[in-house]
Structure 1
Amino acid sequence: MLKEEIWIEKYRPKRLDDIVGQDEVIKRLKSYVQSRNLPHLLFSGPPGVGKTAAAISVARELFGEAWANNFTELNASDERGIDVVRNKIKNFARTAPLGEAEFKIIFLDEADALTSDAQSALRRTMEKYTSSCRFILSCNYSSKIIEPIQSRCAVYRFKPISSAAVEERVRYIAKTEGVNLTDDGMEAIRYVAAGDMRRAINALQAAAMLDKTVDMDAIYKTTATAKPEEVVELIKLSLEGNFMKARAKLDYLLIEQGLSGEDIIGQIYRAMLDMTVPDRLKVDLIDRIGEVDFRMAEGANERIQLEALIAHFILCGANKK
């Protein structure tokens, strides 16, 4: 029996050296640890690439066993208004560090969820308590962090994890947990993950809960992802002008596989980038994909929008002929 444990927590990096795919960033962070000095830091990048793990690892290596006493974390599940900055954050920042630590660390995960008023209050706190506290902020989009805070931080941009790094880590976990991961299953995990290590590990565990042998079908079923070839077939049917067959394939993805419109539009975009169609046609199609994606994000009916996208593909295919 597999242990009922979340693997993403079980295999979370505990040291900077354990973080994969971010060599340049980790090299700079290790230099801060060696000098035992730290500026305010801002980590930006997509989900699942090691931002939180890097922040916690820095605290662990700086403070040793007593790291939890000099480290506090606030994330998007906490209240993020100005009162939290003025009270909770300020009170922690103004107290002296415990033990032999030179300063404390406050980690604000998903800092782009902070209101503009809270960010304005935070910038003064960051200046005032620099002698006793350092701030590490992480976000998906650094553009949502106000400029005064960005100018007070050393900004590090985390990139998506490479397919090779994802494969190495996933195969290690599969071997450790006694899971038989097939080659096509690994290929499916790489596709599903798209550079997100957290998604890759969760996909492996979800599939492994059903069977100790994890293959391509198990990965796609447990992650609500269409097979890439099915999405390519949908696009080709549309460009060939076969509306009814393309619509039937769309029905299969939406109804039988239970995918959302956002899932399908994202996979159509990924498939379009790899297809061998004339550049001018590809530009036109991607432009319409972006328009449909925006409309669905604004609340438009996803079924109507996806069928309209198929119709546009058919018209573009007819014009090409």
Structure 2
Amino acid sequence: MFVQSTLAPQKPVVEVTQTLPWVEKYRPQKIDELAHQEEIVNALQTSLSSGSLPHLLFYGPPGTGKTSAILAIAKQMFGPDLYKSRVLELNASDDRGINVVREKIKKFAQVAVTKYQNAQCPNFKIIILDEADSLTSDAQSALRRVIEKYTKVTRFCLICNYISKIIDPLASRCAKFRFKPISEEAHLNRLKYICEQERINCTNDAFSLLIQVSEGDLRKSITALQSTSKLHGDWISDQMVLDVAAVIPADVINQIYQSLQGTFEEVQQLSADLILEGFQPDSIIFQLFDFLLSRQEISDIKKAKIVEVLAEVDYGLVAGGNESLLILKALSSIQEILNN
């Protein structure tokens, strides 16, 4: 009598690191691996060596290492065995209401931790609230009381882009650290390290373009590098980066400037062509902004008026306005300013 096996066929094991995004694969595992944040690294190293940690408030532009810093110090403090039980990571942009503070955060914060003989392991937990500036005012007010009540067993780390959106009573309970945009030198060193590990040949012009496009956001440049590599292989040029990063070529910006000195019909046709070509409206606005400010022949008064127009159009794009009409408004308004 034959018995049919109920065991599922074994699937080939795929190494996890090969499928990880490079942003996660090369995320710093130790606090001293953090790029271009020397003052913050020194302060956190002191907390790590002493085993004490205050409530933290990390703020600054995206992609500058805020989340990486707190994850690295938590891994060093607790080690791989205790990390999952001692660290709660929440994204406040998803869980932003007062019920989350009352249920998830309060329940985790109030549980006491076991004391270990190992002096390097602190007797507290860490709650990480990413994008804390998305929390509602009621949720922030409730969180203030939770921080006060359970500070003996729980430390909080709030991460945000805009500290002005954090209420003062909450901010005053935390040690504040501002993360600066990544410098070009630190940016270049990190990108070169990743290229060496992934065996990618990247030209100097491509590196410069990646740094320029990212504007201090290391996560953005690493993602663009990986996308370019997956699309074009292990040799990367500046033109390949242009194609992937959706950057508007310099000759297109020059063409826009030339059209601004022509008729309204030319501007109308150009604005329609730009949308049909698939150029991002916000990229058009920002790159045109940089280009026009660098032109010596345009007076300061005209530049100020142009900036005002571009700011209104940018606000309209964020609010969900019609892209074609807003780009036409921007170009026609700038044309009128330049011709007067």
Same fold (TM over 0.5): yes
Q: Structure 1's 242 and 28: CA in aligned 2 closer, same or farther, altered over 3 A? A: farther
Which residue of structure 2 aligns with residue 269 of structure 1? 289
Kept in 1: contact 2:260–2:267 (CA 8 A): no
Are 2:210 and 1:189 aligned?
A: yes
Q: CA deviation at 1:126?
A: 0.2
Q: CA deviation at 1:88?
A: 1.4
Letter of the structure 2 residue corresponding to residue 122 of structure 1: L
With structure 2 as the length reference, what TM-score do the two structures score? 0.86
CA distance in 2, matches of 1:274, 1:202: 29
Which residue of structure 1 aligns with residue 69 of structure 2? 54
CA distance in 1, matches of 2:109, 2:131: 19
CA distance in 2, matches of 1:26, 1:235: 45
Letter of the structure 1 residue corresponding to residue 221 of structure 2: A
Are 2:128 and 1:107 aligned?
A: yes
CA distance in 1, matches of 2:286, 2:157: 32
Letter of the structure 2 residue corresponding to residue 173 of structure 1: I
CA distance in 1, matches of 2:273, 2:191: 30
Q: CA deviation at 1:254?
A: 2.3
CA distance in 2, matches of 1:109, 1:57: 15
Which of 210, 214, 219 is the aligned partner of 2:236? 214
Which residue of structure 2 aligns with residue 169 of structure 1? 190
Q: CA deviation at 1:125?
A: 0.3
Q: Structure 1's 102 and 252: CA in aligned 2 closer, same or farther, altered over 3 A? A: same
Which residue of structure 2 aligns with residue 260 of structure 1? 280
CA distance in 2, matches of 1:41, 1:127: 14
CA distance in 2, matches of 1:97, 1:235: 63
CA distance in 2, matches of 1:78, 1:292: 28
Q: CA deviation at 1:208?
A: 0.4
Which residue of structure 2 aligns with residue 137 of structure 1? 158
Q: Structure 1's 27 and 274: CA in aligned 2 closer, same or farther, altered over 3 A? A: farther
Which of 118, 125, 130 is the aligned partner of 2:146? 125
Which residue of structure 2 aligns with residue 67 of structure 1? 83
Consecutive unaligned residues of structure 1, counting only runs of 5 or more, are none
Which residue of structure 1 aligns with residue 222 of structure 2? 201
CA distance in 1, matches of 2:31, 2:252: 39
Q: Structure 1's 217 and 309: CA in aligned 2 closer, same or farther, altered over 3 A? A: same
Q: CA deviation at 1:290?
A: 0.5
Q: CA deviation at 1:16?
A: 1.0
Aligned pair count?
A: 316
Letter of the structure 2 residue corresponding to residue 68 of structure 1: K
Letter of the structure 1 residue corresponding to residue 95 of structure 2: E
Kept in 1: contact 2:89–2:129 (CA 8 A): yes
- Give identity over the alignment, percent: 41
1:188-241 CA distances to partner (integer Å, 9 max, x unpaired)?
A: 2012211111110000000001222111121121122212x1454145325533
Kept in 2: contact 1:272–1:282 (CA 8 A): yes
CA distance in 2, matches of 1:287, 1:104: 48
Please give the root-mean-square deviation of Cα atoms over the aligned residues, in Å: 2.1
